[in-house]
Structure 1
């Protein structure tokens, strides 16, 4: 019996059974887990956003601190510049953005009629099977309904977003205190680690920072540049709602591989209600932006810092999208990269113990 329990096949069988039991228990507890997830997301969201902002700004604060500037003063200086820049951008962009959303909401019936005319023209052609024509009509009706509902809810909830306003108000204060005591938090985390593992933990944290630091900070700049290029292109060709559509391109660009398709889809749909020429021009602009981003902007700003295989990235995107939608897809790659570094360190530690 003892020989059987030491058999590798038996050990793997036990692991598989335990894994299946864990999955079964998670399925049973799914409603409870979802409620806990919604609660934690609401509570932790401002802290997570504040930590990301602090992580992005911390290198500049540290640089000033090394130049004999007190850390609190350095934080206030960087904060003043950062908040001023963000405020100027938001004051100028938010009214324009809201106006474009409201205008788009008013023109949804007109745009849907144009799209219906296009589908009617397609239906009148004989080269498409009847099933495809029916599918196009159903897709158009469903898309029109969802778009109208989304825009209506967005426009009507602008004045009642008290929770979002509160979060936006509290995040700067959280970021300030995190930035001010960033090194204190690091030392506090280390004190909870046993002394025998502190050296390895510090090395692990440095490797995670190396893997993610330039990627996260650079990604903000890349998204801004791509969004600016898209806006200039849309504005030049006379595309309606240029700022709104370019903003979508900028936000979705943070999602590797799939982001450009998500970002280009609304602009292409909008262009299809105008003319075939506009569709071609929008496609050219988005293609040019992605060529520049992939071959010039990202290699210079971000570089290939994560060293992840494309299949791994796509897998991470699918998991993140299933768990938390668009936000999950945005955070999936950095979290996956951090997990990769942790697994590498655990494997190296295990190998060293086996050798010793």
Structure 2
């Protein structure tokens, strides 16, 4: 293509990208079932492909995998959600009392620092009142959100779509996955097709290696923490364990936040029987050892990773721009952008803009 055609091509692709972002913004309220279906299909595609290699047709393999995935999702939801909601509600309601009990253990330790820096004394009654007010605000907020969800037709449609439409979307995407990829490949501009395929393979390696692997790490750690904390008798162990597992994709953050929450709850519940606090600490020590020596090396390995700060920025940016849909696609998009940026940096270092007039 001539040099005069290059600006026109760039304008065309910029216009396509802008149109895509505008449509994503306008249709954000109804995209959730489709985005979840795409994410689930991407995660399940390797299983369907393996079943194909064993002799099953793509349709039968997709049908079997979809049915099993739906049954597992229903079983897990029925087993976890009722006690999870019950523990969360009880935690919010009892948070003021727990905070005062925890403060009564911690204040004697920090009183020397308070006196040294001449800080005003902390009243347990004022602390309890403040926490009770905040807990009431949380319950009021959750009630308002529930009321808005019940009143908004789009939100109700989204919820129903998530429950009933997502399995259908997942099935059709899984069944036609290879044809969709072939159609996309056929639409690539011919003179840049090889470069785009190379970047797509690297992006897939980044997503498959990091996102899939890290998701399995989070699920494994969440299950271990939830079960372990419940076994040692910690109140709200299920909630705390699942929270710790869910944010474990940020290295050390999930374990640290979960350990702080669990140890704080243990200090409220167990003393003067300190063995319970020790057991809670052992659960998180074992979890950290399991993650560092078994889970991460086996499931994530030395594949392309993402910096924790970049992950947090992507999640906040995606959530701010597109809500929950943006949160779902934030990390995969961050992985793709990382691959593209590394490619552009490589091109830049090979160009005259970087080398200047210096000889190669």
Shared fold by TM > 0.5? Answer: yes
Measure the CA separation in 1 of the matches of 2:60 and 2:302.
34
Deviation at 1:138?
7.9
Measure the CA separation in 2 of the matches of 1:37 and 1:318.
22
Deviation at 1:295?
1.8
Deviation at 1:119?
6.1
Partner of 2:266 in structure 1? 271
Partner of 2:57 in structure 1? 70
Partner of 1:90 in structure 2? 77
Give secondary structure in 1 for the equivalent of 2:240. helix
For the 8 Å contact 2:311–2:334, the answer to whether it is kept is: no
Distance 1:134 1:186, change over 3 A: same
Deviation at 1:76?
0.5
Can you give the 5+ residue segments of structure 2 that lack an aligned partner in the other structure? 1-21, 353-360
Partner of 1:46 in structure 2? 33
For the 8 Å contact 1:260–1:290, the answer to whether it is kept is: yes
Structure 1 counterpart of 2:293, from 292, 295, 306: 295
Residue 207 in structure 1 maps to residue 202 in structure 2: yes
- Which stretch shifts more, 93-102 or 51-60? 93-102
Partner of 1:171 in structure 2? 166
Partner of 1:258 in structure 2? 253
TM-score (norm 1): 0.74
Measure the CA separation in 2 of the matches of 1:254 and 1:333.
10
Deviation at 1:194?
1.0
Q: What pairs with 1:184-333 in structure 2 (closer than 5 Å)?
A: 184-275=179-270, 277=274, 278-307=276-305, 313-323=307-317, 324=319
For the 8 Å contact 2:36–2:166, the answer to whether it is kept is: yes
Alignment RMSD: 3.7
Partner of 1:79 in structure 2? 66
Residue 102 in structure 1 maps to residue 96 in structure 2: no
Measure the CA separation in 2 of the matches of 1:245 and 1:185.
41
Q: Which has the higher contact order (CA 8 A, sep 6+)?
A: 2
Q: Deviations over 1:15-67 (max 9, x none)?
A: xxxxxxxxxxxxxxxxxxxx998755433333322211111100111222334
Distance 1:137 1:119, change over 3 A: farther
Q: Deviations over 1:154-205 (max 9, x none)?
A: 4783994834344233222221222121122212222332111112222221
For the 8 Å contact 1:235–1:242, the answer to whether it is kept is: yes
Q: Across the two proteins, how many residue pairs are aligned to each other?
A: 316
